Amino acid sequence: MRIGRFSYKEQVFTGNLSDDGKVYPLTGEIYRDIKTAPYGYPLEEVKVLAPCRPSKIVCVGLNYRDHAEELGLPVPDEPVLFLKPPTTVIGPGEAVVIPPQSKQVDFEGELAVVIRYRAKDITAEEAPYYILGYTPANDVTARDLQKKDGQWTRAKSFDTFCPLGPYIVTNVDPNNLTINTYLNGVLKQHVSTSSFIFNVYTLVSFISKVMTLLPGDVILTGTPAGVGTMLDGDKVEVEIENVGRLANPVIE
């Protein structure tokens, strides 16, 4: 399934984009019963929003060896976690806004995990059951402020710093996907998630032993080497094999 959030006229709903090109609203409690309504809207007639509304976005720093090396940091022996507030989320096509406080706003193409069921103290073996699916994400980072502050809250938390979408794709193997990030059409990051230091199921288990994960919560699984700075007028795209392509303009 390709699950997203959409608006049609004044109405916002969660739906499944079917192969017939129509979006069928999901009925019942999100995401407990995934049943679709008998009617759909043509994709051209709806606006595609960010695919979920997380209570929190849990991010993993340094989950690829090559990115740790480019930052001159040691490879961690446990996942390093940080948070982005839900107010960072924007949907496909919405603009990333460079704040006046930063002179170096970087893209970080990442695989995002979306949680289906409330998860607390689960094992890696149990993790697939708790996961709804996967979507492309951009962990936008004010790199200069990250270095200056010595911790990451401000650098990671500006409004618009978490583009997500377009859809949450179910039924893919998250530990064997190719991620490509493009800046103005030029390939900047290229990696397979098979080179994760900590795989998706290990991460979900590890995080669930710290904090309760709720339906719609998002986990950003880390970025590979090749991060770079975005400027006013740029276009950044994160493309994940069998998951989708997330494109966002950048403005000052």
Q: Which residues of this chain interact with Mg ion, rule CB under 5 A?
A: 108, 139, 223
Is residue 107 within 8 A of residue 188, CB to CB? The reply is yes
Is the CB of 193 or the CB of 223 nearer to Mg ion?
223
Is the CB of 139 or the CB of 239 nearer to Mg ion?
139
For the CB of residue 130, give the shortest distance to Mg ion in the complex, in Å: 22
Q: How far apart are CA 76 and CA 65, in angstroms?
A: 9
Q: Beta 96-97 vs 244-251: how paired, if at all?
A: parallel
For the CB of residue 44, give the shortest distance to Mg ion in the complex, in Å: 33
**Closest CB to Mg ion: residue number:** 139
Is the CB of 61 or the CB of 216 nearer to Mg ion?
61
Structure tokens at 162: 């978490």
Structure tokens at 1: 């399934």
Is the CB of 12 or the CB of 71 nearer to Mg ion?
71
For the CB of residue 69, give the shortest distance to Mg ion in the complex, in Å: 15
Q: Beta 57-61 vs 218-220: how paired, if at all?
A: parallel
For the CB of residue 222, give the shortest distance to Mg ion in the complex, in Å: 6
CA dihedral 89, 93, 97, 103 (to 10 degrees): 110
Q: How far apart are CA 107 and CA 137, in angstroms?
A: 10
Of 164, 165, 160, which Cα lies nearest the Cα of 250?
160
For the CB of residue 251, give the shortest distance to Mg ion in the complex, in Å: 21
Q: Is the peptide bond before 128 cis (omega within 30 degrees of 0)?
A: no
CA dihedral 15, 117, 124, 175 (to 10 degrees): 10
For the CB of residue 92, give the shortest distance to Mg ion in the complex, in Å: 19
Q: How far apart are CA 42 and CA 57, in angstroms?
A: 30
Is the CB of 168 or the CB of 219 nearer to Mg ion?
219
Is the CB of 58 or the CB of 122 nearer to Mg ion?
58
